[in-house]
Homo-oligomer: A and B are copies of this chain.
Amino acid sequence: MRYKTDLEAMVLAALGDGPAHGYGIVRTIRARSEGVLKMGEGQLYPILHRLEEEGLVGGDWEMQDGKPPRKVYTLTEAGHGALESRQREWGAFANAVARVFSKKHEAEAAYDHGAPSLEVRHA
């Protein structure tokens, strides 16, 4: 079934607007989701390293004075493509879940009707 807990996709999405470093990505996801999604650093860094290894993101160290150095990650071309396909997959998945939750199932086994439009809306 794979109700996939796709933290990778969230990280890619957070990098969609431009480069960012790990600590910032965590806050971005928290901010955009208005506190609903809380990714811990323990999950983020392994994901970031895997994405880098897979060539979906590139990382560059950046020195700062008065603060620890940080590694700024940027989506590669492959990364942008991955983001798009992940987003499409999420859409299909979310619609599927919405259909299972839906209380109207007239045409469940009857015939093949057009694609039901149960969109996931965001504020």
B17 adjacent to A7 (CB under 8 Å): no
B10 adjacent to A100 (CB under 8 Å): yes
User: Which chain A residues (15-54) contact chain B, with CB distance < 8 Å?
Assistant: 16-17, 19-21, 23-24, 27-29, 31-34, 36-40, 43
A102 adjacent to B114 (CB under 8 Å): no
Number of interface residues of A (CB under 8 A): 57
Task: Kindly state whether residue A108 has any CB partner on chain B within 8 Å.
Answer: yes
Chain copies in the assembly? 2
Task: Kindly state whether residue A13 has any CB partner on chain B within 8 Å.
Answer: yes
Sample 22 A-B pairs with CB under 8 A, ordered by A number. A1-B39, A1-B43, A2-B37, A3-B5, A3-B6, A5-B5, A13-B101, A16-B101, A20-B111, A23-B111, A28-B109, A32-B100, A33-B100, A37-B97, A62-B113, A87-B101, A90-B101, A94-B98, A95-B123, A97-B120, A99-B122, A102-B122
Closest B residue to A109 by beta carbon equals B31
Task: Kindly state whether residue A14 has any CB partner on chain B within 8 Å.
Answer: yes
Known contacts A6-B3, A19-B113, A40-B1; A121/B95 CB under 8 A? yes
Closest B residue to A6 by beta carbon equals B3
